[in-house]
Structure 1
Amino acid sequence: MKAMTLLAASALALSALAAPLHAETVLRFAHTQPTSDSHHAAAERFAEIVAERTGGEVTVTIHPAGELGNDPTVLEGVRLGTIEIGQTGNPFYTRFEPKLNVLDLPFLFADYDHVYAVIDGDTGRELLGELEKHGLKGLAFWEIGFRKLTNSKRAVRGPADVAGLKIRTTPNPAHVQAFELLDAIPTPMAFTEVYLALETGTVDGQENPLNIIRSNRFQEVQSHLSFTDHAYTVSIVSMNLRKFQDLTDEQQQVLVEAAQEAAIFQRDLNREQADSDLATIKEAGVEVVEEVDREAFKALVYEPVKQSYVEKFGPEIVETIESMN
């Protein structure tokens, strides 16, 4: 009996020692989009893949709609390690890694195929790698999309129609410079503040893709939408680098693969929802201009904004992206 008791005690001790090796790792994933947006659906897909492929050893909890703070707060939390994983638009990353600003140059990308060839290839991996010196592991590029212009004042068909409009932009230098060249009044502000700013008339308009406009209900406080498609914006899923390195090699690989698979899932979802997003916006009474003089816009802004980037970082990466079209 005594021997059995000793054996049982030994087994319990060994079990206790072994437990930490299989302890569940919980990673908090923060973003600022509502649960009706494709980013949230992609985050859910990411969490499912991670849980499944790690056998439950790593789980991801999702905190949407600015629950853990606005975009700069989320990103700073990931850098400090108070939040494990965050997703936000590239313009917020360019505040501390300006080389990424190349992806926000207006009229740089011809279409979605051009975008994906760049961000899914060597150039994309090189740019994600730039984040490591800032304490971040770039997991994947997700999609905000081709930006369209909304406002409450007038229909926009060409550059002259933008003059004088106070437009909420991202803090990205390329976006700000482009609207200054169009004689608009660019007004950077946190995304979580945009709806109220539009509703109160603090700004006249904003620029985002259809899915973002619809999911954030901007159609309720805007009367005009124009298919300017003036810039494509990626969002980036990143993780605190030290916490990423604390995971096993196998777990690290799962997170990177899951983030990329969720990116493809989100892109497909955005394409599937485009018609219904536009229908929802039209049903709200928004006047939609699909035939926009994009070449006139490009003639005014592309070369000056590109030159500003080239002066700082050289022409190589821009030329590489242009050559992939």
Structure 2
Amino acid sequence: MYLQVSTRALRRGLMVLALALPALAFGQAPITLHGAVQFNDDHAFNKSLLKFEELVKKYYGKPVNFVLHRNSELGLEKDYFAYMNQGISVDYAIVSPAHMSTFAKAAPLLDMPFLFRDLAHWNKVLDSDAFQPIVDEVNKKADVLIIGYAGGGTRNIFSKYPVRNMAELNGLTMRVMGAPIQTKIFESVTAKPSVIAYNEIYNAIQSGVIQGAENEAAGIEQMKFYEVAPSLSLTQHAITVRPIAFSGKTLKKLPPDLQAAVVKAGKEAGKFGRDLESGEDAGKIAALEKAGRLKTYPFTERPKLLQLAEPVKQAYAKEVDAVAILNRVDAIK
């Protein structure tokens, strides 16, 4: 019996194997750090990680090499986090909080729908220490450091057909991220959520497995989801938080002055990414609509979404021992 392996899968496997070998020849100059991202350089995540590279070099002031593996060359974000946890292949990446939940059960709170009131509230929360208990837990249990917060895209539902009110949302089959809170929230607002890998969304909609999904403008544009789901419903149910993560095992091996540069650069690169993506968001949607690729629809019963989601938010915070964190977020004005 012969095992058939795709050329892409084989290439990725060989790449990961090669990078799993001692990648940091400490004591030899220059040090090389490997990053990973699912997108190309038009995406805000890539720009944020390139800014991180620029700032580390600036603050370190000595030779250091960066290799950014683009376009899912090393898999998906869940893979990057696993590699950083193991101290192999990937030293830094932007990763959805949902992929941290195995180690820190409260981590998906960062990405919980209806957590932030608006962009101003979102920025104030991320500039505060409200999420520090989650940062500490990820560091302790996964040996991965959250060194900055990128993100800033407002997430909406995109689908084959317009979803303008609760009646049209009822029973909508849609993809959600893997964290249980995502499923619970969308079930509470009467949709039918399903966990599907990010790179399978397009085909799942095209083949009729699901009718839609939810994402921010950058993802919709980059993955061309508008080709199979051209209706964008402005539910505005989340503003993304996308941590810049760095492998603790890697950081411990770095010279102290490079460690300091990484931590300082991470915070600043995150702020750069937030300003960039939140500023680009509306423009990308407008451009797609002007080009006839997408049509936007106001969601006329958004207060009902908030009402239905609130008990789920509170119950989830209690379940993951994060009531104090949620209260702290809510208290920030």
TM-score (norm 1): 0.87
| Structure-1 separation of matches of 2:143 and 2:214 | 30
Q: Is the 8 A contact 1:143 1:235 kept in 2?
A: yes
100, 109, 130: which is aligned to 2:116? 109
Q: How does 1:174-193 map to 2 (within 5 A)?
A: 174-193=181-200
Inter-partner Cα distance in structure 1 for 2:159 and 2:187: 16
What is the aligned partner in structure 1 of residue 31 from structure 2? Answer: 25
Aligned to 1:73: 79
Structure 1 partner of 2:263: 256
In our comparison, the structure showing a higher alpha carbon Rg is 1
What do residues 123-168 of structure 1 show as CA deviations (whole Å, max 9, x unaligned)?
A: 2333222211212122111115321110003x22222221121111
Determine whether 1:152 maps to 2:194: no
Alignment match of 2:144 (pick from 132, 136, 141): 136
Higher helix residue share = 1
Q: The residue matched to 1:234 in structure 2 has which SS?
A: strand
The answer to whether the 8 Å contact 2:175/2:214 transfers is: yes
Assess, with a 3 A threshold, how the Cα gap between structure 1 residues 307 and 274 changes in structure 2: closer, same or farther.
same
User: After superposition, what is the alpha-carbon deviation per residue over 1:50-107, rounded to whole angstroms, capped at 9, x for unaligned?
Assistant: 2233234322211122110122212111111112112211111123311122223321
* CA gap 1:160/1:263 in 2 versus in 1, 3 angstroms: same
| C-alpha distance in structure 2 between counterparts of 1:287 and 1:255, whole Å | 41
Aligned mates of 1:88, 1:111 — CA distance in 2: 22
Alignment of 1:241 onto 2:248: yes
The aligned residue for residue 298 of structure 2 is: 290
Q: Does 1:317 align with 2:325?
A: yes
Q: Does 1:281 align with 2:288?
A: yes
Which of 180, 187, 198 is 2:205 aligned to? 198
Cα distance in 2 for residues equivalent to 1:288 and 1:96: 38
Q: 1:143 and 1:314, CA in 2 relative to 1: closer, same or farther beyond 3 A?
A: closer
How big is each residue's C-alpha offset from its partner over 1:172-203, in whole Å with a ceiling of 9 and x where there is no partner? 22211011122322111221222222232222
Alignment-mate amino acid for residue 122 of structure 1 = D
The letter of the residue matching 2:314 is K
1:45 aligns with 2:13: no
Of 315, 320, 327 in structure 2, the residue corresponding to residue 307 of structure 1 is 315
1:116/1:127 CA distance change after superposition, 3 Å: farther
Displacement of 1:291 in angstroms is 4.8
Q: Which runs of 4+ in 1 moved over 6 A?
A: none
2:130 maps to 1:123 = yes
Q: Which residue does 2:91 correspond to in 1?
A: 84
Closer/same/farther in 2, CA of residues 21 and 74 from structure 1, 3 Å limit: closer
Contact 2:48 2:273 in 1 (8 A): yes
Q: 1:104·1:174 contact (CA, 8 Å) conserved in 2?
A: no
Residues 98, 108 of structure 2: 8 Å contact kept: yes
Amino acid at match of 1:222: A
Structure 2 residue 161 is matched with structure 1 residue 161:
no
For the residue of structure 2 that corresponds to 1:278, the secondary structure is: helix
SS in 1 for 2:246: strand
Q: Aligned equivalents of 1:276 and 1:304: distance in 2? A: 32
**Contact 1:142–1:236 (CA under 8 A) maintained in structure 2:** yes
Q: CA deviation at 1:257?
A: 1.6
Q: How far apart, CA to CA, are the structure 2 residues paired with 1:39 and 1:299?
A: 32
RMSD, matched Cα: 2.0
Query: Matches of 2:69 and 2:166 in 1, distance apart?
Result: 39
CA distance in 1, matches of 2:62, 2:202: 38
Q: Which residue of 183, 206, 211 corresponds with 2:218?
A: 211
Higher alpha-carbon deviation: 308-317 or 179-188 = 308-317
Q: Unpaired runs of 5+ in structure 2?
A: 1-24
For residue 62 of structure 1, what is the aligned residue in structure 2? 68
Any conservation in 1 of the 2:104–2:134 contact (CA below 8 Å)?
no
Contact 2:34 2:66 in 1 (8 A): yes
Question: What's the % identity of the aligned pairs?
Answer: 25
How much has 1:48 moved relative to structure 2?
Answer: 1.5
For structure 1, the residue ranges without an aligned partner over 5 or more in a row are 1-18
- Alignment CA distance shift 1:323-1:272 (3 Å): closer
State the TM-score, normalized to the length of structure 2: 0.86
Task: Tell me the amino acid that sits aligned with residue 110 of structure 1.
Answer: R
* SS of alignment partner, residue 237 of structure 2: coil
After the TM superposition, which residues 220-231 of structure 1 pair with which residues of structure 2 at under 5 Å, given as runs?
A: 220-231=227-238
